[in-house]
Structure 1
Amino acid sequence: MIYTVEAFDNGTGFLVFEETLPEGYDETLKKVMGWTADQQGWEGYDLTRSQLEALENILGKSIYDPAYIFQISCSEQN
């Protein structure tokens, strides 16, 4: 799976930016997100601040901004 963190503007709801997580973190993501089953490739989830912090650790950078709503989505690899 390809996992992407997406930032949407609080006011407009438009996508502002996205960050693709590196491969190899499927099990870590399951724990962070509380998933009990493998993802199918079409899901999207709102992120809590603590979930976003864990994903920032994986990304190696801070992306939080209170002006944005953060979500994680997944898609199948091509």
Structure 2
Amino acid sequence: MIYVIEAFHKHNELLAFEVELPTGHDLEIKNIMGWTAEQHGWEGYNLTDEQLGALEALLGKKVYDAAYLFQLSCNA
């Protein structure tokens, strides 16, 4: 599964940028997101500040900017 953090402009909701998370962290991502079922590859989830912070730690860099709304997408 490929996991991508997507940032959308708050004013027009257009995709501003996306950052792919490193592979090999499926279990950690599952725990961060609180998932109890396997993902299918078409899901998208709004991120809380806590979830985004934990995903940034996996990523190794900050992506947060108050101008954007953040989602996590799952792609098979």
Shorter-chain TM range is: over 0.9
Q: CA RMSD in A?
A: 0.4
Amino acid at match of 1:18: E
Partner of 1:32: 32
Q: How does 1:1-78 map to 2 (within 5 A)?
A: 1-76=1-76
Deviation at 1:9, TM superposition (A): 0.1
Unaligned runs of 5+ in 1: none
Identity, in percent, stands at: 57
Could you list the runs of 4 or more consecutive aligned residues of structure 1 that deviate by over 3 angstroms after TM superposition?
none
**SS across alignment from 1:69:** strand
Give, in whole Å, the separation in 2 of the partners of 1:52 and 1:30.
Answer: 13
| Cα shift readout 1:44-72 (whole Å, capped 9, x = no counterpart) | 00000000000100110001011100000
* TM-score, normalised via structure 1 length: 0.96
* TM-score, normalised via structure 2 length: 0.98
Give, in whole Å, the separation in 1 of the partners of 2:29 and 2:55.
Answer: 8
Unaligned runs of 5+ in 2: none
